[in-house]
Amino acid sequence: MSKKSLLALLTLLLIGVMVAMSACTPAELGTEENPIVWVFVPSGETERVTAGAESVVELLHEETGLFFEVRVATEYAGAVEAMCADPAEAHMSSLATFAYVMAADRGCAEAAMLSVRYGSPTYNGQILVRADSGIDSLDDLAGKTFCRPDPLSTSGWVIPSIMLRGAGVDPDTGLAEVIDAGSHDAVAAGVYDGTCDAGATYVDARTRVEADYPDIMDQTVVIAIEPDIPNDGVQFIPTLDAELKQQIVDGLLAIIQTEAGIEALGTAYQWEELMEADDTFYDPFRQILQAAGVSAEDLVGD
């Protein structure tokens, strides 16, 4: 074999090896072939959350050049497991307070941003009943049917269950039935139509369903307001590259300054602003759980 032929053969072999190696090496995260997966949980109507989330990632792609994939979990536990899987099935999330604390304590999530609604990075929950129910206080809920959005919803179950215990009603044995409605919107509607005697939502989820139930603010009343709770926000898996995280954070801070960004984030989660915040912001909430003797294991089994 001539030197020229041997050189050509070696070149072809080298090209083949390089092609094989490239086929085995995953594309860089954030590319079209390997998008960053952002998992959301529907606090309201799934279609609305999904549409808003898709708009957000389109704007974020335009701002950063990165590619994203939206996944909407049916419940908080599924979103947490996506972050905690090995390898991770989601690289970032928008978990509510208790779900985030649970994921963080498992080493699966790190807080990066907090949402702002009505000018505040914290919010409150409320416990609703029908105005004609005769229920005036939490201790009246003994033996009643209670609707919650999700077992891991902070304002929809974690805090209400603590408040019920404080009022002498065991949330595990003192209620006739606990119904998982699937969203805060559905809880409000369930109280309105009598599916449940009472329910817990964020303040004030009833406004999201007024189009379907124009008199809901008159036909339902709030019997208890919950203490301040950190808002949901944006979290990342701890192993995500720090520069990539900051690029995403900077991109979100940029799009929230635009009308399109405000509209998209408002559609998804009613976010008006975003601020950078780390895990320490959740320490006061952890203290509430510790004082009440509540752990993740207590609530996951509900």
pLDDT in tens, 245-277: 999 999 999 999 999 999 999 988 889 999 999
pLDDT of residue 4: 56
Secondary structure of residue 58 in the 3-state scheme: helix
Average pLDDT over residues 166-177: 95
pLDDT of residue 294: 73
Q: Which two tokens stand for residue 241?
A: 């590259």
pLDDT of residue 19: 45
Query: In this structure, which amino acid lies at residue 26?
Result: P
Whether the pLDDT of residue 226 is over 80: the answer is yes
- Dihedral angle sign, alpha carbons of residues 301, 168, 144, 74: negative
What does the DSSP assignment read for 161-175? Answer: HHHHHHTT--TTTSS
Average pLDDT over residues 223-250: 95
Average pLDDT over residues 184-208: 96
Distance separating alpha carbons of residues 197 and 241, to the nearest angstrom? 48
Can you tell me which residue has the tokens 């959740």?
282
pLDDT of residue 237: 98
Whether the pLDDT of residue 72 is over 50: the answer is yes
Do 48 and 184 contact (CB within 8 A), yes or no? no
pLDDT of residue 44: 62
More confident residue, 199 or 27: 199
* pTM, to two decimals: 0.76
Which residue in 164, 143, 140, 161 sits closest to 152, CA to CA?
A: 161
pLDDT of residue 186: 96
Domains (range + CATH), the chain: 36-121+231-300 (3.40.190.10), 125-226 (3.40.190.10)
Average pLDDT over residues 202-228: 95
Residue 85: pLDDT band with limits 50, 70, 90: very high
Q: Which of 8-12, 124-128, 150-154 has the lowest mean pLDDT?
A: 8-12
Angle, CA of 248, 252 and 255, to the nearest 5°: 135
Q: Which of 88-92, 236-240, 278-282 has the lowest mean pLDDT?
A: 278-282
Distance separating alpha carbons of residues 154 and 200, to the nearest angstrom? 10
Q: Which residues of 92-113 are buried (b: 16+ CB within 10 A; e: fewer)?
A: bbbbbbbbbbbbbeeebbbbbb
Find the farthest-apart pair of alpha carbons in the chain and give their distance in angstroms, rounded. 99
Q: Which two tokens stand for residue 204?
A: 């004030």
Whether the pLDDT of residue 129 is over 50: the answer is yes
pLDDT of residue 277: 94
pLDDT of residue 270: 86
Q: Which two tokens stand for residue 40?
A: 């959301």
Whether the pLDDT of residue 287 is over 60: the answer is yes
Secondary structure of residue 229 in the 3-state scheme: strand
More confident residue, 27 or 224: 224
pLDDT of residue 132: 97
Q: To the nearest whole number, what is the mean pLDDT of the chain?
A: 89
pLDDT of residue 20: 46
Do 231 and 114 contact (CB within 8 A), yes or no? yes
Query: In this structure, which amino acid lies at residue 276?
Result: E
